[in-house]
Amino acid sequence: MEWLIQLQSQIVGLDTGPLIYFIEQNPAYLEVVHAFFQAMSQGEFQVITSTLTLTEVLIHPLRAGNVELAGQYRDILFEQENLTTVAVSPAIAELAAQLRAKHNLRTPDAIQIATAIQGDATFFLTNDTRLPAIPNLELLMLDELTNQ
C-alpha cells in the first residue's frame, strides 16, 4: 500500500476507530488497518495514542462481558512494540482545550489530536470525517485510503 511509504520513520497519531476495525476485523477496513499495524509492528514508524482510547475501546467488550476482547485491546495498547499509549497530562489537557476552542472539536477528538501533537506526530489515522484540518498534522482517513 503506497500510502504507507510516507509514514516511514514518522510518528503517527492513532484514533480509536482504526484500532477497533483492526481488532474486531471489520471487513470494510481490514486490509488497510492490517497493513498499517503490520508496518508498525515491523518498526517502519511509531504510533501514539491516548489512554482515552482504552476507555473508548473497552465499552463494547465490557457491556458484552467479552473478557478476551477486552484483553486484546489492553495487550495492543500497552504491550505492542512501536505503539505508545500516553496518559492525559496537564499539557495535553490544555492543548485539547485550545483545539476545542479554535476548531469546535468534541472533547475526545481534541484529546486524541492533542496527544498526537504533543507526541510530535505528523500524521493522524482516523475515519472521523467531522475532524477539521489541523495545522502540521495530516489526517489520514480510512475511507479515502481504502479507495486508493
Amino acid at 103: H
Give the fold, CATH level 3, of 8-146.
Rossmann fold (3.40.50)
* pLDDT tens, position by position, 56-101: 999 999 999 999 999 999 999 999 999 999 999 999 999 999 999 9
pLDDT per position as a tens digit, 16-34: 999 999 999 999 999 999 9
Instruction: Determine whether 2 is exposed, middle or buried from the number of CB atoms within 10 Å of its CB (0-12, 13-18, 19+).
Output: exposed
- Whether the per-residue pLDDT at 104 is higher than 80: the answer is yes
